[in-house]
Amino acid sequence: MDLLERFAAGDLDAFESLFRERQAAVYRWIVRIIRDPATAEDLTVETFWRAYKARARFRPDGNFEAWLHRIATNASLDHLRTTRNYIELSEDFPANPCPDSAVQKETSIAVQRALESLPARLRIVAQLGLIQEEPNRSIAEALGISESAAKLRMFRAVRILRKKLTEAGVTL
Amino acid sequence: MNDEEINQFGKKLRAAIPPIRRSELARDLWPDFLQKMRQSPSRIPWFDWALAALAASTLIFFPEVIPALLYHF
């Protein structure tokens, strides 16, 4: 019996092996959406917890990584729906301070606030597509929607972001 | 708005916000998972409770089915 079959049958040792193999990749995906390392760690554990609880529904001949990816995306989406995780700017941002660094900092705050103001389902698309340069295809797969729906969400996110930034007096 | 405009807008956004502080996982999360597992109470679905209640009430109100059941088991 291979690892995935053992996992689906409820073998905790098999699950531990899968956890240790995939935890870094799941964390990397979540931190790109959430941008906060501590929250991303919590959501990584939550993702595996959801996967473990749903093990009976997993088909061992299916794609475990894609399944986990979807669960991680949904966990992130649930988190975005319930919280507003404003990321504080570190003292060393921008990396190369110049006479305009105060303006840069203000722009950065305005951009982050504009991103936060997006509805969760648009924000996740904006984070992955605009900030992380993830292609529409993989965003669509992770969200379980069509590529055209992902593209439509991207258009709407950009339109709202532009409006919010203009209102804040920021021109990009 | 076309794809090129979106790409340009994304480029400007990326330049405006700081990079992610820690993009790689720094520690093993398995102990956290085990802790979460221990803290989570094992919940019995309401449907199972309803089924058990139904079976129990059948035996109480219709005790004559008990010998029939025992015969089949």
Average pLDDT value over all residues in chain A: 88
C-alpha distance from A7 to closest chain B C-alpha (Å): 15
pLDDT average, residue stretch A11-19:
95
Kindly report, residue by residue over A67-85, the tens digit of the pLDDT.
999 999 999 999 999 886 5
Mention every residue, 6+ apart, whose C-beta is less than 8 A from residue A141: A66, A69, A70
**For testing the chain A interface, which of B33, B35, B36 should be mutated: the one with the most A CBs within 10 Å?**
B33
Q: Which of A77, A111, A66 is nearest to B14 (CA)?
A: A111
Asked: is A3-82 a CATH 1.10.540.10 domain? The reply is no
**For chain A, where do the domains classified as CATH 1.10.1740.10 start and end?**
3-82
Strands annotated E in A11-146: none
d(Cα A125, Cα A33) in Å, to the nearest integer?
9
- Range list for CATH 1.10.10.10 in chain A: 101-167
Give chain A positions within 8 Å (CB) of B28.
Answer: 20, 23
User: Shortest Cα distance from A11 to chain B (angstroms)?
Assistant: 14
- CB neighbour class for B34 (10 Å; exposed up to 12, middle 13-18, buried from 19): middle
CB-nearest partner of B29 from A32, A44, A130: A44
A-chain residues within 8 Å CB-CB of B12? 172
**Are the CB atoms for A44 and A1 separated by under 8 Å?**
no
The mean predicted confidence, pLDDT, of chain B is 89
Indicate the angle between helix axes A12-34 and A37-53, nearest 10 degrees: 140
Residue of A nearest to B22 (CA): A37
Q: Quickly name the fold that domain A101-167 has.
A: Arc Repressor Mutant, subunit A (1.10.10)
Can you give the pLDDT at residue A95?
Answer: 54
The tens digit of pLDDT for each residue in A86-117 reads: 554 444 555 555 556 777 788 888 998 999 99
Which of A24, A108, A161 lies nearest to residue B25, judging by beta carbons?
A24
ipTM of the modeled complex: 0.80
Which residue of chain B has the CA closest to A44?
Answer: B29
